[in-house]
Structure 1
Amino acid sequence: MSEAVMRRSVLKKQQLVEEIKEKIDKAKLMVIFDFTGIDANAMADFRKEIKKNNAEIKVIKNTILYRACNGTELYDKIDIFKGPSAVVFAYEDVVAAAKALKEFLKENEAAKVKAGLVEGSFVSAEGIDALASLPSREELLAQLFATMMAPVTNFVRVLNAVPQKAVMVLNAIKEEKEKQG
């Protein structure tokens, strides 16, 4: 191999490391998983599914991934970078992406989560599983809205009950007078 070809190859790898590093910095969630036993069709379907959550999946050589993780909390954990690795990068809703990955891996039992980063902090495979078990953003917003509206709703019910009870008392008095008279 000539020196020029080797130099191009090194430059290409450095460029790839920089691209992956940018994705890591941009992503709110990054999950590295072993994709053993997953066929190309299943992976293609998962790519389409994960894209709906403003996320993407990349299959990356471990050496490139390891270099790109330099400066992150994953860099110390060398065991993560063994075996086949694919990475999910989620740019918005971390819970939705984690849920999608969990569902995908349920169908492909040989594959498993290795570890990840959430907002730049290391998260173990168990942590990613716990994240996937959280309610979605929409569910959390609905719960928050219901909690905020509860006092207002109760106040309106109390206000409605006062005239209602007054009408019932007046109706009872009317019925009593009709019986007497």
Structure 2
Amino acid sequence: MDRNQKAEVVSKLNAELAEVGVVVVTRNLGMTVAQSTVLRQKMREAGATYKVTKNRLARIALDGTDYSSLSDLLTGPVGLATSADPIAAAKVVVEFAKTNDKIEIVGGAMGTVLLDVEGVKALASMPSLDELRAKIIGLIQAPATKLATVIQTPASQLARVFNAYAEKEAA
């Protein structure tokens, strides 16, 4: 890689880090290409990315961002999992690490807050943004549904009474 290519990699990574909500640092302990491909596919499905970069270039890209505190975690063969949704990248990495012993979670950061391994796991256990939206919609919709049921119940009871009188008169 020549100097221009390195500068381009650093600028792209720096721009990406300025837009993400979370960065999870993982250590690669000998993952195969197939395993790495599966991880990247799961990340894409969740709206996240997983990149392996040279530590020196990653440290340079981290400077000037909220994630500059991650520089100390960049030792050995590491990868950076990022996503705009603060939970997506952490959730995918934690789930993948449960089934694959070739990847180790080193830590992460959510904005300026540095996370250890347990912090990343706690973040992964939280509901995603879409799940929270669904719960809020359900909570907003529930009173309207109950109100419609309560208003409809006396009318249906009254109709049953009239029907019973009509059947009694017919008999």
Q: Does the TM-score normalized on the shorter chain lie above 0.5?
A: yes
Shift of 1:125: 2.6
Shift of 1:32: 1.3
- Normalising by structure 1, we get a TM-score of 0.77
- Name the residue aligned to 1:114: 106
The 5-angstrom pairing of residues 1-181 of structure 1 reads: 9-91=2-84, 93-119=85-111, 121-168=113-160, 174=165
**Structure 2 unaligned blocks of 5 or more:** none
Contact preservation (8 Å) 2:66, 2:111:
no
Structure-1 separation of matches of 2:117 and 2:65? 17
RMSD over aligned CA atoms reads 2.8
Shift of 1:141: 2.0
Q: What residue identity is the alignment partner of 2:123?
A: L
Is the alpha carbon distance of 1:120 and 1:89 closer, same or farther for their aligned partners in structure 2, counting shifts above 3 Å?
same
Structure-2 separation of matches of 1:62 and 1:54? 24
Structure-1 separation of matches of 2:108 and 2:64? 14
Greater Rg over alpha carbons, structure: 1
Contact preservation (8 Å) 2:17, 2:67:
no
**Structure 1 unaligned blocks of 5 or more:** 1-7
Is the alpha carbon distance of 1:25 and 1:17 closer, same or farther for their aligned partners in structure 2, counting shifts above 3 Å?
same
Is the alpha carbon distance of 1:16 and 1:96 closer, same or farther for their aligned partners in structure 2, counting shifts above 3 Å?
closer
Contact preservation (8 Å) 1:28, 1:120:
no
Number of aligned residue pairs: give it: 169
Contact preservation (8 Å) 1:37, 1:108:
no
Structure-1 separation of matches of 2:15 and 2:5? 15
Shift of 1:152: 0.6
Shift of 1:133: 1.2
